Amino acid sequence: MRFIKFFDKLEDEVRGKLSRAPIIYGIIGGTAIVMFWRGVWHTADMLEQSGGILGVVFGAPISTIISAIILLLTGLFVSFFIGDRIILSGLTHEKKVEEKTESEVRAEGALLLNMSDKLRHIEREIEAIKSKK
């Protein structure tokens, strides 16, 4: 648990600092993402070349089918390729987050906090009603 908390705090600190330099943040993040997928790709190639059942599973057709099924079952297929924010903004005719001004984003955040507080209050009232029965 300490291990997870340490990296959670470290991530918050790094993200906070990098968010002040979005271009550098993009370069570092983009490079790391490409390196990660390059590693996954090469590992899959190595497993495919090993032959046997791994060669079949990590071959192009089967790995495409398996990954598509996993992505569909986990709900990540649409989320990754389209993005839930884009879908929601299209349905509600809102601006994309990148197009909003800082004040609009802050106002939306305040609204969400207010709604969260109201939900907590309602939950407490429901619990009070339940405990009286």
With a CB cutoff of 8 Å and minimum separation 6, the contacts of 49 are 55
Q: Higher pLDDT residue, 50 or 87?
A: 50
Amino acid (1-letter code) at residue 3: F
With a CB cutoff of 8 Å and minimum separation 6, the contacts of 130 are none
Amino acid (1-letter code) at residue 31: T
Q: For residue 96, which of 105, 107, 85 has the smallest C-alpha distance?
A: 85
pTM of the prediction?
0.52
Average confidence (pLDDT) over 97-108: 72
Q: Higher pLDDT residue, 109 or 49?
A: 49
Domain borders along the chain are 1-56
Average confidence (pLDDT) over 48-65: 93
